[in-house]
Structure 1
Amino acid sequence: MTVRHDDVTVEWFGYATVRLETADGFVAYIDPGRYGVLTGEWEPDSPDAAHPDPVDYHAADGDAVFVTHDHHYDSDGIERVAGEDATVVVYEGVDADAIGRDVTPPSELPYEVVRIGEEDHLTVGDCDAWSIPAYNEENGPHTGDDGEPFHPKGFGIGYLLSLNGSTVFWPGDTDALSGHRALDVDVFLPPIGGSFTMDRREAAALAADLDPALVVPIHYGTFAALETDSAAFAEDVENRGITVALDED
């Protein structure tokens, strides 16, 4: 399923993998890969999990690829989506040695790789990109049994992307933060799985504050800890007068 807002199309492959394309043919990917969503190997913990079907995907058509943090860094996923002349934008905090999976370090990828800070701006082709802090608040609802945030401040980021005059916001793995509410957002891609990020209710409240033209929820249903009621989320947001598209197969 492909969702459209003005001159930008949005396609969710599962987990946090999103493809964006402008009417002019500029293609950007966000957090590609992991859990078999691009290799065709993803299998839901629940047969009723709301999620796109996994695909063996190797389009290699991306002009830009954006990575938010260690949990979403997948070098195989990047190579499946990045075009030969792609620019890969990776948060400066991503550390291949600390990931604990078999990944190629960003510096060894066969593309132009740009590292971005926690609150930076850069331009890649037809895309302006701003990095936005992403984290779980201490003593908040998304912490481990030891009380420590799953995503401490400085561990990752989100992205606000400007494409053909439309702004697309992927907040990353984060709580709903006060700074988010000041953003000018046309297309909102909230994580709604809860556990490690804002849940569907918190995401719906943030959507109401942002008042985007379109909401496409992602980062849910991939495994048990991310299962949620996406239909209830959509109803909640639509009752606030905001359009929602569930990109599910």
Structure 2
Amino acid sequence: MTVRHDGITVEWLGYATLRFAGEDTVVYTDPGRYGVLTGEWEPDTDGVGHPPARDYRPEDADVVCLTHVHHYDPDGVERVANEDTTLVAFEAIEEGVEDRELPPLDSLPYEVVTVGDKDSLTVDDVPIWTVPAYNEENGPHTRPDGTPFHPEGFGCGFVVDVEGKRVLYPGDTDALGPHQNVEVSVFCPPIGPRFTMDRHEAAALAAAMEPELVVPVHYNTFSTLETDSRGFAADVAEAGVPVALDER
């Protein structure tokens, strides 16, 4: 299913992969991982809501945004990018590529722009802002010793202006206070319960932000991310915020 909203489309392709498109602009976030773009993904549990895997290679991206090294998949980037695509990548990704046996960003055949977590820029006529993304120490989304899965400075989220509509994918993060002040038309929160804000925290954040539409992502890709997406939708709708589940 493709979600249509006021002249743009938002499509969740699985895991953290989002496609935002207007009439002349196509932007992706975090393409790939876990076989969601190669046709190899299979759910751990039958009946969970998630886009089906498919062999997906449109090579239509104007911009690809990469939030952190966990979501950096060179094959996924290749499937959506072309020779004119620009990669906008969080600056700390390069520090983690060797440990994860990934190619350096500057070895890819695309223009690469690196960003911090509080930047603003325009790439190929697409205005982009970054926002902090992290788990708070000793918070609910940490290891048993209290260390975050995503410490501050490890990644970022992206606000992308797609032909006049601002879309926020906050990355792998807790629901942080500054997020409430981000004005967007479409909010795409992660709602898997372990490594990011859970569905209850995401619903409360959506209610505080009051976007025009909420499209949740980053859930049910594997067992650790399983959650009740319909419960999330009910909570968001109860707060008076429209919500769409991009599941098939």
Flag whether TM exceeds 0.5 (same fold).
yes
**Shift of residue 103, structure 1, vs aligned partner:** 2.6
Distance (whole Å) between structure 1 residues aligned to residue 235 and residue 160 of structure 2: 26
Contact 2:135-2:148 within 8 A present in 1 as well: yes
Quote the RMSD (CA, aligned, Å).
1.1
Distance (whole Å) between structure 1 residues aligned to residue 72 and residue 97 of structure 2: 11
**Shift of residue 84, structure 1, vs aligned partner:** 1.7
So what's the TM-score if we normalise by structure 2? 0.97
Distance (whole Å) between structure 2 residues aligned to residue 61 and residue 98 of structure 1: 25
Distance (whole Å) between structure 2 residues aligned to residue 178 and residue 119 of structure 1: 14
Give the gaps of 5 or more residues in structure 2.
none
Cα deviations across residues 167-210 of structure 1 (Å, max 9, x unaligned)?
Answer: 10001000000000111011000000120000000000000000
Give the equivalent residue in structure 2 for 1:195: 194
Contact 1:28-1:64 within 8 A present in 2 as well: yes
Give the equivalent residue in structure 2 for 1:75: 74
Distance (whole Å) between structure 2 residues aligned to residue 165 and residue 94 of structure 1: 29
Distance (whole Å) between structure 1 residues aligned to residue 159 and residue 46 of structure 2: 33
**Shift of residue 98, structure 1, vs aligned partner:** 4.2
Distance (whole Å) between structure 2 residues aligned to residue 92 and residue 234 of structure 1: 34
Instruction: Confirm or deny that 1:111 pairs with 2:110.
Output: yes
SS at match of 1:85: coil
Equivalent runs, 1:225-244 vs 2, <5 Å? 225-244=224-243
Give the equivalent residue in structure 1 for 2:135: 136
Give the gaps of 5 or more residues in structure 1.
none
Contact 1:120-1:130 within 8 A present in 2 as well: yes
Contact 1:96-1:103 within 8 A present in 2 as well: no
Distance (whole Å) between structure 2 residues aligned to residue 88 and residue 143 of structure 1: 29
Instruction: Confirm or deny that 1:35 pairs with 2:34.
Output: yes
Contact 1:126-1:164 within 8 A present in 2 as well: no
Give the equivalent residue in structure 1 for 2:151: 152
The code of the aligned residue for 2:163 comes to N
Instruction: Confirm or deny that 1:5 pairs with 2:17.
Output: no
Distance (whole Å) between structure 2 residues aligned to residue 134 and residue 168 of structure 1: 16
Equivalent runs, 1:158-173 vs 2, <5 Å? 158-173=157-172
Question: Which has the larger displacement, 137-146 or 199-208?
Answer: 137-146
Contact 2:9-2:22 within 8 A present in 1 as well: yes
So what's the TM-score if we normalise by structure 1? 0.97
The code of the aligned residue for 1:224 comes to S
The code of the aligned residue for 1:246 comes to L
Cα deviations across residues 18-62 of structure 1 (Å, max 9, x unaligned)?
Answer: 011112x21110010000000011111101221000011111110
Distance (whole Å) between structure 2 residues aligned to residue 141 and residue 59 of structure 1: 38
**Shift of residue 96, structure 1, vs aligned partner:** 6.3
SS at match of 1:197: coil
Say if 1:240 and 1:155 are closer, same or farther in 2 by CA, change over 3 A.
same
Distance (whole Å) between structure 2 residues aligned to residue 96 and residue 144 of structure 1: 21
Distance (whole Å) between structure 2 residues aligned to residue 42 and residue 100 of structure 1: 24
Distance (whole Å) between structure 2 residues aligned to residue 102 and residue 219 of structure 1: 23
Give the equivalent residue in structure 1 for 2:16: 16
